[in-house]
Amino acid sequence: MYVTFDTASIQLKMYNIIINQNNVFVNIVFSSFSATMDQVGGAKASTQPGSTQDIFCHLCPNVRAAAHCVDCRIYLKRQPDIQLPRGECRIYDLAVVSPDMLLVSNRNQLCVQLLDCLKGEVVSEVKLQDYPYRICLTDRNTAAVTVGKKIQMIKVKNNTLTKDRELTVSKDVFGLTSSRNSPVVSYQSSPWLEVISMDGKVLHQFDKSGKSQHFTYPDFMCTTPGGSVFISDHVTDTITKVDAQLNVLQTFTSPLLDGSSGITAVTEDKILVCSSNIHIILLLQPSTNTMSTLLGEDDGIKQPYSLTYCPDQKKVYIASYCTETIKVYQVS
């Protein structure tokens, strides 16, 4: 299937072209511009199997022609799903430990599990006293998981999980990420944020003076390679960017955000967000203040709840609410 513009001169407003063939999507977005076909280069998109476009393609809406967009492209190619035993797993969060190894917070089993993605098998687990919520790595060999008013540290060595120390905080912890090897947490009551040290001391607090309504349900968080933190608010449907000291830098919203949940950073300017109520995965680009749809129901996305990115293998792992399936996409 081809889409070809072959008129001599065209004027385009921003629009989308979406082609669906064998679960393959090509999404081409143009900004408003005028050009001749010589300038555009005869824009063509192909979904023929085996072609270079036999993958999902997103083009930055701020470029003038598809041929000029290199840095802003994201390509996602569907990989085989990871299927965990039915009825035994309710995935609440994911974190990449190493290539082909994932940490999973499993509410059904009250545990954190180490998953071999190639075999689809759990190779190690640690039992907890309460429901695990969010999970992250503080360094290559240490994970943290929120459990009530505690943060349970877990050592990861030789594909084996062992409990380490606990950090006790004053309230029930909800969101969790790591910045400069220190946990960044959000709380369910009186929603706010803190950066704490590995011995439980508060290093930074979100200054909520005059901003008491900035967060309502700060749920998932992620940290970019440059150290910025993004917070997904499930109730206000906003994404907030803060620095390492929790100063607000930007706030993002979009009609495409409905049930904002899981969030992960591919690069400093490519943030993936779950919009769970309308079953889509969004690309947020802070530099241009834009959001666009990457994946939807036709790609098998249903109530996406948590996701994480593996920079070593350039893979995105997506878990849906109350399921045992993890969807995998190759990023290029």
- Spans of all domains in the chain: 2-72, 79-331
Q: Above 80 in pLDDT, residue 112?
A: yes
Top pLDDT among 58 and 90 is at 90
Which of 36-50, 77-91, 100-114, 246-260 has the least mean pLDDT?
Answer: 36-50
pLDDT at 213: 67
Top pLDDT among 190 and 5 is at 190
Global pTM value:
0.78
Instruction: Note the CATH architecture for domain 79-331.
Output: 6 Propeller (2.120)
Mean pLDDT, residues 181-205 taken together = 88
pLDDT at 122: 93
Mean pLDDT, residues 273-293 taken together = 94
Buried-exposed string 303-320: b where 16+ CB fall within 10 A, e elsewhere? bbbbbbbbeeeebbbbbb
Residues sharing a CB contact under 8 Å with residue 119, sequence separation 6 or more, in sequence order: none
pLDDT at 22: 36
Q: Above 60 in pLDDT, residue 257?
A: yes
pLDDT at 77: 86
pLDDT at 27: 38
pLDDT tens by residue, 60-79:
444 333 333 445 567 788 89
Report residue 5's pLDDT band, with 50, 70 and 90 as the boundaries. very low
| DSSP structural state of residue 190 | S
pLDDT at 72: 57
Computed over its alpha carbons, how large is the radius of gyration of the chain?
A: 21
- Give the C-alpha distances (Å, rounded to integers) separating 190 from 214, 215, 217: 11, 9, 9
Query: Beta strands 142-147 and 150-157: pairing type?
Result: antiparallel
Q: Above 80 in pLDDT, residue 8?
A: no
pLDDT at 26: 33
Which of 84-93, 169-178, 203-212, 314-323 has the least mean pLDDT?
Answer: 203-212
